[in-house]
Amino acid sequence: MLENLAKILTLNELSNEAGLSVSQYSALFRARTQNAPLTYFTLLKMQKSCQLLANTTLRIKEVAYQLGFTDPYYFSRVSPS
C-alpha cells in the first residue's frame, strides 16, 4: 500500500496481489490491523498528506493530486474512519 499512495486501489486489486479471495483478505487484514483494508489505505494517505503539508511548501490541492485525489474539496473532507 505504501508504494501505491498515489493510486486508487480497490479491494479486488489488493486481494489479488495477496493471492486471496476478497473475504479472506479482508478478514485477515482486519484481524491484524483492526481496520478494513481500504480504511487503512486512506489512513496511510492521510498520514502522508500530514507529512507533506507540514514539511513542504505544497498546497493542499497539490498534496491531494499527489495522493491520487482528483478533487481537492473531497480530499479536504476525507476521514479514514
Q: For the chain, which domains are there?
A: 2-77 (1.10.10.60)
Does 79 score more than 80 pLDDT?
no
Q: How many whole angstroms separate alpha carbon 21 and alpha carbon 11?
A: 10
Cβ contact 48:33 at 8 Å: no
Residue with grid cell 498528506, as numbered in its chain = 49
Residue with grid cell 482486519, as numbered in its chain = 30
Phi-psi region for residue 56, left (φ > 0), alpha (ψ -120 to 50) or beta? beta
Q: pTM (2 decimals)?
A: 0.87
Report residue 66 as a C-alpha cell: 499527489
Q: How many whole angstroms separate alpha carbon 17 and alpha carbon 11?
A: 10
Q: CA triplet 7, 13, 17: central angle to 5 degrees?
A: 110
Q: What is the pLDDT of residue 80?
A: 63
Question: pLDDT tens for residues 6-54?
Answer: 999 999 999 999 999 999 999 999 999 999 999 999 999 999 999 999 9
